[in-house]
Structure 1
Amino acid sequence: MSERRYTEFESIHCGVQPDKGRFRIAPNGIGWKSSSGKTTVVSVDDLRKLSWSRAARGYQMRVLLKDNTVYKFDGFKPDDFEEAKDAIKMYYKIQLEQKELSVKGWNWGKTDFQGSNMIFNVTNKPMFELPLGQAIGTNKPGKNEVAINFVDPGQPAPEGVNPKEVDELMDITFYVPGTVAKESENKDNADAEDEEVNADMVFYENVKSKLEFSQMTTENIVQFQEVLCLTPRGRYNIDMYQDFLRLRGKTYDYKILYSNIIKLFLLLKPDEMHVMFVIGLDPPLRQGQTKYPFLVFQFVREDEIDVELNLDDATLADKYENKLHKHYDAPTYEVVSTIFRSLTNRKVTVPGSYRSHHGAHALKCSMKANEGYLYPLEKSFLFIPKPPTFIPHNEIGVVTFSRVGTTSGGSSRTFDMKFHMKGGNDIQFSSINREEYANIEDFLRQKRIKVKSVQNEESIVSYAELDDGEDEEDGDFGSRKKRRTEPVASTMLDDEDSESPDEDFAPDDSGSEVAEEYDSEVEGSYDESEND
């Protein structure tokens, strides 16, 4: 009978995986196998350092590889240390170090980066460790401050774990005062060594590089550079990968999962020179205490881009079912929206039947102190760029117009429009040109949204009063309703379950492969896009 050539421990966890398994130390390396069949194997040639410390689940063995990758195995008992130490020394000629954790409770110390992990040390003892590979972004919220944002609350809990029992670190902010010597590639240059830079910027760049390293397991599919974003304001590079995109600006750096993108809109501005691409997010993007449920990008309509996707033909055919093409040479907004549509599997909503007095797809108005554009879409209203406000038709109780008629000073040039929502809140838009009244009123009635006009600007109409009188119509409305009975009824039947594309907005018939996507499947796009 041959002697057993390995040392084995039972009921050991690997990382955050909930499964227990067998941990084996053998001459050719370290291995772990769970009860469900999951395995982790580390070759002896890759081992660099092993350490032993207390952990939440008993004791933990930390395995550091030569490429700075870290594996953690915990669930060991106190008596297992000597057996593990002897086996590691015998097989690998490496000492198993005992690491004592800092329990002082101090909030100041020094940081050490190992691979994609950051260790916070107090008096040369580790206090906690942050897995930067799970971070979604980093930014500088203030002077000498660096914030690291972690997993979105909308991301699923680990497999086998009840989401209601999970506590997650949302973000953490470090205060980094002072300056440090600037590193120079030319070590012979004495002047360069004396140059100092802010310590917070050095720390920020280190964190960014670790986030980039953890995200760059595969090359990006395509990159769009210096894209103008109206909300939040700034210019960003958009790096698109297979499962997420990276939004990189001068101050902010974010990782956004495609599964968090729930809506896409492509809207022509009334100036007909710019196109806005709106991305709806759930959970929203966070910048400090501010949340952004919508990102609003703006493109010049005439700008074109020539890009080639970093995907082979087999991937285009198998994974994306040829919905993407290897090469694009078309207007920038078309290329961006088409690639987003394919990678996120979300339909792109475009303007529908509404036309303003001047033939535009939106009407200019103000929301409080912010000027913008209100787009009446087939199943919702969308106000952009700031603050982006999404109003589904089925959540509107009644729309009240005020200052429509004449005032004591004469005829009013503008009017206000207030949405009384079924949930009880009100959304008001003001300073709408008087010429837009007839078109927006017709649109609301076609969509079977209740409308009420308040002639006296000072009159106060409660939601309860409007609801009580929903079956009664005033004389003016009754006469207008009779005159439009036939055409309105047919329009409602045609538009109730579909949204037609804007003919003026459609790209020219120049043979563009991108243009064809906007001329097809438009009716089905709104069922998915606006009712998620």
Structure 2
Amino acid sequence: MAAMEFDDVYEEIRGVLNPGRLKLTSNSVVFKNLRTGKVETITKDEIENIKWMRRSRGYGLKFITKNDSSLRYDGFKDTDIDRLKEFMTINFGKNVETQKMAVNGWNWGKVSFGAGNLAFQVDHKQAFEVPLKNVSNSNKGKNEITLQFHQADDAKVSLMEIRFYVPPGDVDGDPVEDFHQNVMRDAAVLTAKAGDAICSLSDINCLVPRGRHELRFYPSFFDLHGKSYDYKIPYNQITRGFLLPHKDNRQMYFVLSLDPPVKHGQTRYQYIIFGFKKEEETKVELSLSLEVIQEKYGNNLHKEMQGPYHDIVSRLFRAITEQRITVPGSFTSGAKCVGCSYKASAGLLYPLERGFIYITKPPIYIHHDDVASCGFNRSNTTTGRTCDFEIQLKSGGSHVFSNIEKEEAKPMSDFLSSKDLRIHAASNWDKKINYTVDKDRDIYLEHVQNEGQEREDEDDESDDEEEDEDFEGGEEEEDALEYDSEASIHSTEDEDEDGSKSPSSSKKRKKSEASSTSSKKKSDESKKKSDDSKKKSDESKKKSDDPKKKSDDSKKKSDDSKNKSDDSKKKTKQKESPNKKPPKSKEQIEDDSD
């Protein structure tokens, strides 16, 4: 078999599957990328090992070279393994090894480095591998290391970073440092010597991320070097630049928009904001020759540059990155920005010709194409001095910028109309709120009157209930005395053995009758007094300012009088009950007849 060809083969580069054609000859392996037209060739003398493995797109063939590099091609079928083994044995003198893959889903195992790859193994089987040439940066912590990757422009989904936990080892040495050194040996990290810098600017005030940094410009990236962290950012990550004046016209902001954002710990920074004083000047000298400056940058840069600090920095970024620097346009209300607040942070909102940008925390940029409508809330109130500016997005979200002076609403409305942006009406919750105040209305007096009326109603209900209880209680007591089931049928001590009444008993009966009549009179008088006290209490309720206290006093007096009358009733009934004659028996009736 002289040669073999495979048409539907893919090569994965930074997350992008590049289709191509693989040709195996007796002396070499040739792969042609159909997208770029690039041709890769490996001679049989350079091949160290050949491995066959299962991939997401069928099966893959991996070639490991003697110079510690590897090439991997996907898209093979399971029926191709027999032909490949025979071809490799005859022409290359190599056996094709079948590599087993770990599919149990464990996230702990061992890491090995080789052939320019990081291989993560679980139970002596490979779970995944990472080409170290795709690593752009490596950050180490106490027991943790983070790998960041280069991004491919053609990839729809890209792996941004991967993090490994490295447990402390039993042997001498730092396992995290060893891991970091193995990664950095083959990683394509942005590195450059200090002498390769085009120019450098020291002690620049950086608002986001906060701190004083040294800014160094290199041919392919710029380095933002601080006390605790170092950011190396390629120029192709810069998407926009903004040069914005402060509201006091004494400061300037220079903003860089990054995609993807830089990361510091768990915080991502999509924008880098520099702060400059408008009157501050500096002088910088480029390390490039005049010929190189003229060839690469034309008249945009010079060998020696002097001027305001913000102007020098913006011109350097404009010439090196070839990105436009956006400045405020036609909007003005005494300044090019509007002071406002976003959530709990105060900042500045800049209406630009093609969008809105808010600084400083958090920086927000909204393009006009993403805006569904804009509007002012609480701008028609009579008491408020500020209003809210709301931007509704086509994606469904919204941003509300509050505490804007009402004088700024008119210039902003004119600017929105000039940009043909839709202005929506105020929110419903603003229309429902009544901000006017009635000065003649005494809310406290109304509250006191309502409370007094409620208490009067409660007192009337309690009086009715007490009268009903007294009436029912009297009937129960009379029934108990009249139909006493435990009444004795024997003669009392006041009667003689022959049934005749003694004179002492008659005297006692007269005294008891007199006492009962007097007690009845007293009870009647007490009832009259209680009725009079009730009438007086009702009159006092109407006349007094505090109805509750006097009504309570009168109620207590009436209750006391009622209690006295009830006690007198009980005493009279207790005295009358023993003097009543029990019914005579038949024997007594016969004795009387005899």
What residue is the counterpart of 2:358 in the other structure?
Answer: 383
Contact 2:241–2:324 under 8 Å retained in 1: yes
Distance 1:149 1:155 in 2: 16
Equivalent runs, 1:7-406 vs 2, <5 Å: 8-11=3-6, 15-16=11-12, 17-24=18-25, 26=27, 30-34=28-32, 38-42=38-42, 47=46, 49-56=48-55, 58-66=59-67, 68-72=68-72, 75=76, 77-81=81-85, 83-85=87-89, 87-88=91-92, 98=97, 100-103=99-102, 105=104, 106-114=106-114, 117-122=117-122, 125-139=125-139, 144-150=143-149, 152=151, 155-157=153-155, 168-179=158-169, 196-197=173-174, 199-200=175-176, 202-204=178-180, 206-207=182-183, 210-213=186-189, 228-233=205-210, 250=228, 256=234, 258=236, 261-272=238-249, 274-282=251-259, 292-301=269-278, 302=280, 304=282, 306-308=284-286, 313=291, 317=295, 323-325=300-302, 328-357=305-334, 360-392=335-367, 395=371, 397-400=373-376, 402=378, 406=382
Change (3 A) 1:51 1:454: closer
Question: Distance in 2 between the 1:38 and 1:216 partners?
Answer: 28
Which of 387, 392, 402 is equivalent to 1:430? 402
Q: Which moved more, 1:361-370 or 1:445-454?
A: 445-454
Give distance in 1, aligned partners of 2:10 and 2:424.
64
Residue 362 to residue 175, structure 1, CA distance change in 2 (3 Å): same
CA 1:431/1:125 → structure 2, altered by over 3 Å: closer, same or farther? same
AA of the residue aligned to 1:23 = L
Cα gap change, 1:420 to 1:382, in 2 (>3 Å): closer
CA contact (8 A) 1:59 1:78 kept: no
| d(CA) in 1 for partners of 2:397, 2:247 | 29
Cα distance 1:450–1:366, how it changes in 2: closer, same or farther (>3 A)? same
Superimposed CA distance per residue, residues 415-448 of structure 1 (whole angstroms, 9 cap, x where no aligned partner): 1232243636443222345665666566556656
Cα distance in 1 for partners of 2:353, 2:382 equals: 31
Is the CA contact (8 Å cut-off) linking 1:405 and 1:455 kept in structure 2? Answer: no
Aligned CA-pair RMSD: 4.7
Aligned residues: 412
Report deviation, 1:228: 4.9
Map of 1:493-508 to 2, 5 A cutoff? none
CA contact (8 A) 1:120 1:128 kept: yes
Q: Given that residues 217 and 223 in structure 2 are in contact (C-alpha distance below 8 angstroms), is that contact kept between their aligned partners in structure 1?
A: yes
Pairwise CA distance, 1:363: 3.1
Instruction: Report SS of the residue matched to 1:20.
Output: strand
Gaps of 5+ in 2: 13-17, 434-594
Tell me the TM-score normalised to structure 2 length. Answer: 0.55
Shift of 1:72: 3.5
Q: Do the aligned residues in 2 keep the contact of 1:221 with 1:311 (CA within 8 Å)?
A: no
Distance (whole Å) between structure 1 residues aligned to residue 412 and residue 112 of structure 2: 60
Aligned partners of 2:256 and 2:272 also within 8 Å: yes
Post-superposition offset of 1:335: 3.5
Structure 2 CA distance for aligned equivalents of residues 332 and 204 of structure 1: 38
Q: Which has the higher strand share?
A: 1
* 1:125-167 Cα deviation digits (max 9, x unpaired): 5432112333455556x86343334455x8214xxxxx6xxx6
Cα separation, partners in 2 of 1:230 and 1:221, compared to 1, 3 Å: same
SS at match of 1:378: coil
Provide the C-alpha distance between the structure 2 equivalents of 1:343 and 1:96, rounded to a whole number of angstroms: 51
Amino acid corresponding to residue 6 of structure 2 in structure 1: S
8 Å Cα contact 2:338-2:349 kept in structure 1 = yes
Q: After alignment, is 260-269 or 248-257 more displaced?
A: 248-257
Unaligned 5+ residue runs, structure 1? 1-5, 90-94, 158-162, 182-193, 462-532
Name the structure with the higher helix share: 2
Q: CA 1:100/1:256 → structure 2, altered by over 3 Å: closer, same or farther?
A: same
Percent of residue pairs identical:
29
Matches of 1:44 and 1:173 in 2, distance apart?
37
Q: Give the Cα separation in 2 of the matches to 1:59 and 1:422.
A: 46
Residues 388 and 117 (structure 1 numbering): CA distance in 2 closer, same or farther, change over 3 Å?
same
Task: Read off the aligned partner of 2:22 and give its amino acid letter.
Answer: G
Q: Structure 1's 229 and 59: CA in aligned 2 closer, same or farther, altered over 3 A?
A: same
Cα 1:262–1:213 shift into 2, 3 Å: closer
**What are the superposed Cα offsets for residues 284-320 of structure 1, whole Å, 9 maximum, x if unpaired?**
5567886654333334542535242668846852x65
- Residues 400-419 of structure 1: matches in 2 within 5 Å? 400=376, 402=378, 406-407=382-383, 414-419=385-390
CA distance in 2, matches of 1:224, 1:232: 17
2:328 counterpart SS class = coil
Name the CA distance, whole Å, in 2 between partners of 1:79 and 1:43. Answer: 20
TM-score, normalising length: structure 1: 0.60
Counterpart secondary structure, 2:318: helix
Deviations 1:382-432 (A, max 9, x none): 11011112244563634315367652xxxx5x5123224363644322234
Give the SS at the match of 2:271. strand
SS of corresponding position for 1:19 = strand
Once the two structures are superposed, residues 311-361 of structure 1 have per-residue CA deviations (whole angstroms, 9 ceiling, x without a partner) of 8846852x656645555455443343223323443321113344454xx43
Other structure's SS at 2:19 match: coil
Does the CA contact (< 8 Å) of 1:145 and 1:173 recur in 2? yes
Q: Distance in 1 between matches of 2:134 and 2:51?
A: 24
Tell me, in whole angstroms, the C-alpha distance in 1 between the residues paired with 2:26 and 2:225: 43
Distance 1:115 1:326 in 2: 45
**Structure 1: how far apart are the matches of 2:336 and 2:2?**
72
Conserved? CA contact 1:364–1:374, under 8 Å: yes
Measure how far apart 1:10 and its partner are: 2.6
CA shift, 1:19, in A, is 0.5
Deviation at 1:220, TM superposition (A): 6.7
